Structure 1
Amino acid sequence: MAIKPELIEILRTRRGKITEHVSPEKLDALHAKGLLSARERINWLFDEGTFQEVGMHAKHHAVHFGMAGRELPADGVITGTGYLGSVQVASYSQDFNVLAGTLGKMQARKITRIMRYALKTGVPVVAFKDSGGARIQEGVDALSGYGDVFYSNVMLSGVVPQIAVVCGPCAGGAAYSPALMDFVIMTRKNSHMFLTGPEVIKAVTGRATTMEEVGSATMHSSVSGNVHFVAEDDQSAIALVKRILSFLPANNTEDPPHNLDTMIEDTPDRGLEELVPDSPSEPLDMESIIRRLVDNGELLEVHADFARNVIVGFARFSGVIVGVVANQPKVMAGALDLNAADKVARFVRTCNVFNVPLVTLVDVPGFLPGVEQERGGIIRHGAKMLHAYASCTTPKITVLLRKSYGGSYLAMCSQELGADMVFAWPTAEIAVMGSEAAVKILYRKELDAAEDRAARAAELAQEYRDEFASPYEAAANFYITDVIEPCETRAAISIALRKTLNKRELRPSKKHGNMPL
């Protein structure tokens, strides 16, 4: 029996009302601002012809206050799955052109349904956030919907990658969903994210503030640390999503997409030595070191504007995908502080859950001293790094470039924290504290009696470095694997990674460790 033409026409009409509700004039206005519509974001994300929508015809319950007879296309969110190359991805895109993208119970059901699908099939989730928050008309139903979304975020955490792209407003409770995901991207000009905006802050506290101060991409990427990446516009954000996913497996049971057909280069790189300053007191630029070591100089830096005294990001060594953690001596001498400890701990745990090996490059004078640091809980925050590295079971390769003192030596993934191989440059210094400080404590009386105190202090400091802090002393006690020339670093790391990719590490049976949050 043939399908009646009028039924096909009804279907097409219904689809058209849902998919084409944004007028061409409105689209032009969005594009002028660097914005895409909710459906355009989905189309830009996926390979052409691979997106299958889920729940297009789902509707809110019309019994809520002021909602009777109101049409909300797709209930303000597009959900479904598509492909990026050979990788399937689940996605949802909130539609600000439908009741400001507000979330009600049906929208939450659509979102959690696609998230459960991602959990069952082991595929990443990409969420486009563009919402005015909870749908006031639905009251507690909207709050219940947010609870369902948050619970699903936690269920997916550590199982599949979750990436949030904040393209517009992300207000109130809506901000917690991105915070529960692995990576958060905000667009620079069009997005803002906050729990309480400037008007509420003024009403409650009396303090006048601006959206730039409390909810902008710049603030969140550099001050609060809530955002990992800032993109210029929607298209740039989507390109960034694809780049992030290129470093990650689809789920926690798979390995990252390494290219093990890549040949390991063993040609010494003498140019690397030219990047090391002549004086140990002069800071080196760790970013230039990293880009010299990794494939094609490509580093996808995460949290680039936050806690800039450390660098974290994704790269490749001879085809092997790694997470890089490194001190940046050009900022605060590379010392570890509250924010740096949080930044490193979070990144290490992210790499661990997705089976990404870690390469740690060390040039650290210690934890930052100061009353503010102590009162801010530097002990607790520093312990997060210790916990993260010690609990990480992926391959861990550490290179000591120059100074590595005190507790920061351990916190930057020493052998005792589970590093599989530890290499040191001849310039490395490994000690409880710097030689100058140690001499002042150990030889105070001798220095007080010296005719030329400065000259004698320099002599003793050199003797201390040679006898107690040299990499050969650490190697003699088997605390490091080998002392290598800087020009050998790339090859040493690449070979070590290949040899440790199949490592297996058994841990005591437990629900999870109790990280000092």
Structure 2
Amino acid sequence: ATFVANSEEEVLDEVKYLLSFLPENNLEEPPHQVPDDDPERLCEDLRDIMPASPNLPYDMKAVIRSVVDDGDFMEYFPGWAGSIVCGFARLDGHVVGIVGNQPMVLAGVLDIESSSKAARFVRTCDAFNIPLLTFVDVPGFLPGVDQEYGGIIRHGAKLLYAYCETTVPRIQVITRKAYGGAYVVMDSKSVGSDLSFAWPTAELAVMGPQGAVEIIYRRELQQAADPVARRDELVEEYTERYANPYIAAERGYVDDVIDPAETRRKVIAGFAMLRSKREDLPRRKHGIIPL
């Protein structure tokens, strides 16, 4: 079930809550509410939410609730594919659909189920003129024989296709890891995101610095007097030269590197700028999504 409640009364309340985010039809804009939350509010807690180690998790839902109006977030399929979070919220009173990797579950990787869940949500938002905000902290696609035989390439392509086909305003926020093909799939500039912001902790690379160093410098590490110390030096050097967000900004992969506390005001300003976005597509013409 998409939403679950403990009683009939709670179910009806959830239905009302859901309908408050949706327009009456696909030609109208989602309902706007006068916000109580200041659009210029700083999210001070986000400056300290990131763990010191890149291998430690944090709660992406806490990030989302800090950014959106009054912390109100209606999660979509909360009991399915926990490595990705989807749901509806408001920013400055305007409805947005939010997709975010969840580091608390499987380190936030994309697998068959999370790809399908997010693709379905993205297409739902596009159908009802709901702008999309995507938070990225993804180390890659989940490896394994089961995933390969289950069709991870095909299911991952669903999410890629869903983002590519959308016509609503789209903003990406990279909080930490943005590795390989999974980063591209998560609404990167390469697939048409209108704006991309990165926190200073963001790492955009083909793979993680430690994995890259162990492959590129394997022979040097084998011959080093202190392999561990030398590996740490090379990881720091690799991160500085290739994986930091400022290099990505220089190359046009992100539009700005922002203070995490300013995420809310930056995203609201971005959506305000994109509110008049229109894409004209041929009538009754569309591609064929990988099913």
TM-score by structure 2 length? Answer: 0.97
1:401 aligns with 2:175: yes
The 4+ residue runs of structure 1 with deviation greater than 4 A are 260-264
CA shift digits 1:23-51 (9 cap, x unpaired):
xxxxxxxxxxxxxxxxxxxxxxxxxxxxx
Gaps of 5+ in 1: 1-226
Return the alpha-carbon distance in structure 2 between the equivalents of residues 377 and 350 of structure 1: 23
Partner of 2:75: 301
Partner of 2:258: 484
Q: Match of 2:57, as an amino acid? A: P
Q: Which moved more, 1:310-319 or 1:253-262?
A: 253-262
1:289 aligns with 2:63: yes
What are the equivalent positions in structure 2 for 1:19-58 lying under 5 Å apart? none
Return the alpha-carbon distance in structure 2 between the equivalents of residues 272 and 255 of structure 1: 31
Return the alpha-carbon distance in structure 1 between the equivalents of residues 72 and 44 of structure 2: 20
Give secondary structure in 2 for the equivalent of 1:455: helix
Cα deviation, residue 231, structure 1: 1.7
Cα deviation, residue 260, structure 1: 6.3
What are the equivalent positions in structure 2 for 1:94-493 lying under 5 Å apart? 227-259=1-33, 265-493=39-267
TM-score by structure 1 length? Answer: 0.55
Q: Match of 1:275, as an amino acid? A: I
| Aligned residue pairs, count | 291
Give secondary structure in 2 for the equivalent of 1:275: coil
Cα deviation, residue 246, structure 1: 0.1
8 Å Cα contact 1:258/1:319 also seen in 2: yes
CA shift digits 1:61-98 (9 cap, x unpaired):
xxxxxxxxxxxxxxxxxxxxxxxxxxxxxxxxxxxxxx
Give secondary structure in 2 for the equivalent of 1:339: helix
Return the alpha-carbon distance in structure 1 between the equivalents of residues 186 and 96 of structure 2: 16
Max Rg structure: 1
Q: Match of 1:373, as an amino acid? A: Q
Partner of 1:56: none
CA shift digits 1:453-477 (9 cap, x unpaired):
1111111111111111111111001
Q: Match of 1:324, as an amino acid? A: I
Gaps of 5+ in 2: none
Q: Identity, % of aligned pairs?
A: 50
8 Å Cα contact 1:264/1:494 also seen in 2: no
Cα deviation, residue 273, structure 1: 1.4
Cα deviation, residue 416, structure 1: 1.2
Return the alpha-carbon distance in structure 2 between the equivalents of residues 290 and 419 of structure 1: 19
Give secondary structure in 1 for the equivalent of 2:4: strand
